[in-house]
Amino acid sequence: MKKITATLLAAFFCISMFGQTEQFTSRLYETYDSYREPSLGKRRIKHEDLQPLIDAMGQKDGFEVHTVGRSIEGRALRLVSLGTGNTDVFLWSQMHGNEPTATQAIFDILNFMASSDLRGEKSEILNSVRLHFLPMLNPDGAAAFKRRNTLSIDINRDALRLQSPEGQTLKRVRDSLEAEFGFNLHDQSTYYNAERTPRPATISYLAPAYNYEKDINSVRANAMKVIGYMNRIIQRYAPGQVGKYNDDFEPRAFGDNIQKWGTSAILIESGGYPDDVEKQEIRKLNYVSILSAIYAIATGTFQDIPLEAYSEIPENDRKLFDLKIEKVTYPLLGKDYTIDLGIERPEVNAKDFEDFWNSSRISDMGDLSTYYGYESLDASDLRLRWGEVYPETLEDAGAVAQLDFWELFSKGIAYIRVRNLPADLTFSPYPVHLVSGAFKAPSGPMDIGDNPTFFLEKDGNPEYAVVNGFLYHIPTREGKGHNSMVYR
């Protein structure tokens, strides 16, 4: 009887603690805007954007700031620490310079920790754990919004040779802390989906293997349990939008080695979310799930998550397009064919690396029935036709703004000749391409890598315009693109 009573009490305590953590998570989500750092509103953030924020944190009670290293170009790598607990939790972000979503979330988390709200839960956290944040490990890469550092190496493949000062810093901090948990924070391609579903892998996880056999010891098991817990949180706000990376051992990678060195390594990758180009909704999901995981570590509730919860997360797949056009009639050499088109919109950095423009491409064509799109169009009753050039040549790019673009689309026009195209104009801010006098509009055939610009007609009339991979519905005048191209 005593044994049964003890079991029931343990079960009741577990349910009670889960209820408490879920209530905490709900409050985090509902109050997020109070802690969101407003100065970091876009992805292309730089080292100098973070320094005033870090300086301000260093002035707050309970916060410590230390310079723990420098990048190749001499930028300071700074660690923000807080808490008095015995369990060290180390979080680092932007090992790849163009992966900043979690960097923003870190400052949201710091704002929350510095506030006077939810004191009870924060006391539980800070009395149990000591948190260490290294918000930007690759500031030189971030300055040019590129993956690699100034040495042009991938820092995440430098765990053995430690040839980069950034990698040396990461190893030194991990070793000095002997952190029990490590959060390795990244961004992944927006074209990943949860396996066999049309849903983007908005968040993906990995508890890296520490050997080729993919053994599971207590260190890796704890990482799996925390991930299983975080997946439970994310499913409340982005159901079905979680994936899991392949866990093949990579002996050069930091995550795999940090697991091997005794820190439970938790890899988090921020992917795509519909209509979230700047990943601000995903930033919020990072904030909520990471803080919830820290709370679960502090309270020990992650220990009650079965390992099966990790294995049940679907694998990452890469079968998403920005735009998928299905079953369009495609005329070629006097015959009609039925094909699908998969369109991607890669970003090109502006000269100052503060912004971007899209240079879209046809990434696949044929039978794409096993693929998905953030935006999909059933074109089974539509026929592809090539775009035409406006009959007049305009004097300058400014004159283009006076045109009715929807009227142009209704006539199948996608290109405007401009006599004086500025040499520094890299893209068209309008929903049509700007071209020089020598330009000739494409008339087929279509190939992989081509810029997706064409019309889809019904009964001989343009129904849709596709310009630089952006879709416009002509009769309802619905659709909006980021930019078009300049062709000289």
Q: For residue 14, what pLDDT is reported? A: 46
Question: Which residues are 184's β-sheet partners?
Answer: 92, 267
- Only one residue has tokens 């009609």, namely 336
Q: For residue 19, what pLDDT is reported? A: 65
Neighbours of 267 (CB within 10 A): 27
Contacts 24+ apart (CB under 8 A), 408-411: 408/432, 409/455, 409/462, 409/465, 409/472, 409/474, 410/461, 410/462, 410/474, 411/462
Q: Is the peptide bond before 100 cis (omega within 30 degrees of 0)?
A: no
Q: For residue 453, what pLDDT is reported? A: 98
Show Cβ contacts of residue 158 under 8 Å, excluding neighbours closer than 6 positions.
164, 166, 167, 252, 254
Q: Where are the alpha helices (DSSP H) in 363-433?
A: 397-400, 405-410
Show Cβ contacts of residue 106 under 8 Å, excluding neighbours closer than 6 positions.
91, 93, 133, 135, 185
CA angle 278, 281, 287 (to 5 degrees): 115
β-bridge pairing 181-187 and 63-70: unpaired
Residue pLDDT tens, the chain, 488 long: 444 454 444 444 444 555 667 789 999 999 999 999 999 999 999 999 999 999 999 999 999 999 999 999 999 999 999 999 999 999 999 999 999 999 999 999 999 999 999 999 999 999 999 999 999 999 999 999 999 999 999 999 999 999 999 999 999 999 999 999 999 999 999 999 999 999 999 999 999 999 999 999 999 999 999 999 999 999 999 999 999 999 999 999 999 999 999 999 999 999 999 999 999 999 999 999 999 999 999 999 999 999 999 999 999 999 999 999 999 999 999 999 999 999 999 999 999 999 999 999 999 999 999 999 999 999 999 999 999 999 999 999 999 999 999 999 999 999 999 999 999 999 999 999 999 998 999 998 999 999 999 999 999 999 999 999 999 999 999 999 999 999 99
Cβ atoms of 483 and 415 closer than 8 Å = no
Q: What are phi and psi of 108, to 5 degrees?
A: -65, -45
Cβ atoms of 71 and 140 closer than 8 Å = yes
pLDDT 10s digits, 352-406: 999 999 999 999 999 999 999 999 999 999 999 999 999 999 999 999 999 999 9
In order of their start, the domains of the chain are: 20-317 (3.40.630.10), 320-487 (2.30.40.10)
From residue 157, alpha-carbon distances to 69, 133, 186, 208 in Å are 19, 21, 14, 14
Show Cβ contacts of residue 254 under 8 Å, excluding neighbours closer than 6 positions.
95, 155, 156, 158, 159, 167, 170, 184
Token pair of 28, please?
A: 């985090």
Q: For residue 320, what pLDDT is reported? A: 98
pTM above 0.75, yes or no: yes
From residue 102, alpha-carbon distances to 105, 191, 374 in Å are 5, 18, 23
Q: For residue 23, what pLDDT is reported? A: 87
